Amino acid sequence: MGTWILETDKAIYWMEDQYYIDKIDKSPLSNGEYHVVVSTMKDWFNSQTPPGLMKIVLGDVKEPAHKLVNHGHGSGHAKTPTVKFIPADDSNYNSRNGTKIDMIIMHNTDANLQAAINTFKDPKSQVSAHYIVARSGDIIQMVRDTYRAWHAGDRLINSRSIGIEHEATNTNRGMTPAQEQSSITLVKYLIEAYDISITNIRPHRDVSTITGGTDCPRWIWSTNVDFEKWKQTHLS
């Protein structure tokens, strides 16, 4: 079926076969018509992978299944991770404005999984990340790759990066085996999907410009030496 658009009473979906890549919610107006954020649709068509074969289908459908879609920049050999999508509040992320993704920023949550999810869903928090890797090994996506999540404390870094949180706290340091394997699978997939150099996989503390800085992701990698050793062992 190729890449196409599906329109329902509640939303417009950018689809690949039976899966959606992105969704725009429709807001009903008093005159019975619908409002959509056109700038978001423009992001679709101005992206590096705009829709190819296009058709519009109308009708009532159930929420399509979600999968990560390899964007074709790499060799196509990386395993595609299984991801559960739980959307962050839309006030906690915005457009990349066409900036190419060429970095991955690694974080730890400093909270349990549900607390991290709740933070990204809270419109007052003004923070988000694209993914959270749980200690169970589950991968939660909260912001689509096509958008700029607010995770690095630096607008320019946010524009060019994908942020990955890892569930960990002072009392639950390091990664579980399942969590580590999921993180490796996700990072390898993103490296290949966006042709990201291993040099551009960075810990949060290296890129934050927040006053006073941060030592995140200290509960996973306590030093940059530990982080670099992990990268060379698992990603090279």
What is the C-alpha separation between 191 and 186, in angstroms, rounded? 9
Distances in Å between the Cα of 210 and the Cα atoms of 103, 155, 205 are 19, 11, 10
How far is it between the farthest Cα atoms of the chain? 61
Residues 6+ apart with CB under 8 A from 214: 153, 204, 205, 208
**Are 47 and 156 members of one domain?**
no
Inside any domain, residue 78: no
Lookup result for tokens 């090279």: 236
Inside any domain, residue 55: yes
- The token duo for 159 is 């524009």
Supply the pLDDT for residue 46.
58
Which percentage of the chain shows pLDDT scores above 70? Answer: 67
Q: Are 35 and 25 in contact (CB under 8 A)?
A: no
Inside any domain, residue 158: yes
Inside any domain, residue 72: no
Beta bridge partners of 84: 140
**Are 108 and 51 members of one domain?**
no
CATH number, domain with residue 218: 3.40.80.10
Lookup result for tokens 């329109």: 7
**Are 91 and 60 members of one domain?**
no
3-state secondary structure of 191: helix
Inside any domain, residue 70: no
Q: Are 160 and 99 in contact (CB under 8 A)?
A: yes
CB burial string 62-91: b at 16+ within 10 A, e below? eebebbbbbbebbeeebeebebebebbbee
What is the rounded average pLDDT of the residues 99-119?
Answer: 96
| Range with the poorest average pLDDT among 18-22, 54-58, 183-187, 232-236 | 54-58
Supply the pLDDT for residue 79.
80
**Are 164 and 119 members of one domain?**
yes
Interval 147-199: pLDDT, tens: 999 999 999 999 999 999 999 999 999 999 999 999 999 999 999 999 999 99
Give the chain's domain count: 2
Predicted TM-score of the model (pTM): 0.72
Inside any domain, residue 58: yes
**Are 18 and 51 members of one domain?**
yes
Dihedral angle over CA of 8, 11, 17, 20, nearest 10: -160
- Residue numbers of the domain that contains 59: 3-65
User: Where residue 72 falls among pLDDT bands split at 50, 70, 90?
Assistant: very low
Inside any domain, residue 76: no
Smallest Cα–Cα separation from 22: which of 69, 57, 55, 89? 69
Q: Indicate if the pLDDT at residue 146 is higher than 70.
A: yes
**Are 167 and 127 members of one domain?**
yes
**Are 128 and 212 members of one domain?**
yes
